[in-house]
Amino acid sequence: MAYNIDNIRDDFPVLKQAIRGKPPIYFDNACMTLRPRQVLEAMNRYYLCHPSCHKRAMHSFGEMTSARYEEARQAIQKFINAKMPQEVIFTRNTTESINLIANAFPFENGDIVLTTELEHNSNLLPWQVLSQGKGVIHRIFALGQDSSFDLDNFKDILAQGRVRLVSVFQTSHVTGQSLPVKAIIDVAHQYGVLVLLDGAQSVGHQKIDVQELDVDFFGFSFHKMLGPSGMGALYAKKAILEQMRPFLVGGETVEDVDYVSFVLAKIPDKFEAGLQNYAGAIGAKAAIEYLRDIPLEARNQHVLKLNNFITEKILKLPRLNLLGPKDAALRGGIINFFIDGMDSGDLSIFLDKTNNIMVRSGLHCAHAWYKKHKLVSTVRVSLYFYNTMQEAELFNETIEKIVKYF
């Protein structure tokens, strides 16, 4: 089936509006993608038809909500190829998924958690906080030139013992590069070390098969793959989840309770305290179904075409510095750069106020890495499969003018 960008864009009502008389150009997809009407309609159906609690509500609305909620879990199970639905825990986002592990995994005194130097703050702060209180040690794994991952060095560190968990990004939100995660997991397992993958930037861009990867934990956010905001999930192997105690408890997390004791519920319920984001789960399922209908390969080829086109242009601009590899094929939909002598915040405002081109500027929640590399702030363009060549052309024209005049 040919890739029909016009049909795809028809599904995104937000792109049809005019701002200051011009269409919006949304290039901030690494933060949050837009949603097709199919996702919005699925969520609306929950509010319009059966807005109720799940499980404990035994009435008709409750039955419908329970059914849709568990169908969503099954859809996610299939999407990431988990062995069983109970291995999928609903969370608010990748951040919460990582915090859940930091707070609920039975770490022991002296255990080491290893992360790379290029993590999002969401995969740095939970370990820093953990290391302040519970005798767990947080170590940073230095990346090589161009953020390459040295597997020999990695092996040497693991061979020293005491590393309990390696927690790394799959795709970087800063450079767009992906780590060799299968090799990292295989090596870690040789040393009996568990691996948590931060899938925030890979999900919706790569095929995720948790069984093939043999990854122990995988955290991701649906708002980065057409789903509702504030909706995420944590995958974890059943045997590990069963060993873990929840860090949030309350309604639905127990099978029985009296004034002095309680019996925890089975997985996944023991990790999902209180009323849940039912519309969010239903919207996540609709997002998965939408993505399934447009082949991943076609989506990625389209994004690569746009990324190549922008990359070729900006590399010719004076004073422009690109983060990560020059080859667009190694950066997914991400183009992160700065211009010597120009404030990145100002640049992003110019792009927005002249042609509604919405990009991100700042330290991108990677303060430590920016400080290490003495970078003040950068502009990040992040593309998705509904962006067009015309949008890329307008971006190129606009940035050229800005660089010329300032």
Ligand X SMILES: Cc1ncc(COP(=O)(O)O)c(C=O)c1O
Residues that bind ligand X (CB under 6 A): 31, 93-95, 120, 122-123, 169, 173, 198, 200-201, 221, 232
252 and 274 in contact (C-beta within 8 Å)?
yes
CA distance 216 to 210: 8
- List, by residue number, the catalytic residues: 365
Which residues share a beta bridge with 19? 22
By C-beta, is 77 or 115 nearer to ligand X?
115
By C-beta, is 336 or 355 nearer to ligand X?
336
By C-beta, is 170 or 307 nearer to ligand X?
170
CA distances from 11 to 50, 299, 347 (A): 25, 15, 30
Give the DSSP per-residue string, 37-96. HHHHHHHHHHHHH----STT--SHHHHHHHHHHHHHHHHHHHHHT-SSGGGEEEESSHHH
- Minimum CB distance to ligand X, residue 370 (Å): 14
CA distance 361 to 174: 11
- Minimum CB distance to ligand X, residue 100 (Å): 12
- Minimum CB distance to ligand X, residue 20 (Å): 28
- Minimum CB distance to ligand X, residue 292 (Å): 21
By C-beta, is 33 or 201 nearer to ligand X?
201
By C-beta, is 54 or 360 nearer to ligand X?
360
- Minimum CB distance to ligand X, residue 320 (Å): 23
Spell out the alpha helix ranges (H) of 196-235: 210-213
CB-count burial class (<10 Å; 0-12, 13-18, 19+) for 248: middle
Nearest to 125 by CA among 146, 144, 102, 104: 102
CA distance 322 to 248: 42
By C-beta, is 96 or 394 nearer to ligand X?
96
Which residues share a beta bridge with 219? 198, 234
- Minimum CB distance to ligand X, residue 200 (Å): 3
100 and 252 in contact (C-beta within 8 Å)?
no
By C-beta, is 173 or 299 nearer to ligand X?
173
CA distance 236 to 240: 7
3-state SS assignment for residue 218: strand
- Minimum CB distance to ligand X, residue 344 (Å): 17
CB-count burial class (<10 Å; 0-12, 13-18, 19+) for 159: exposed
CA distance 238 to 250: 22
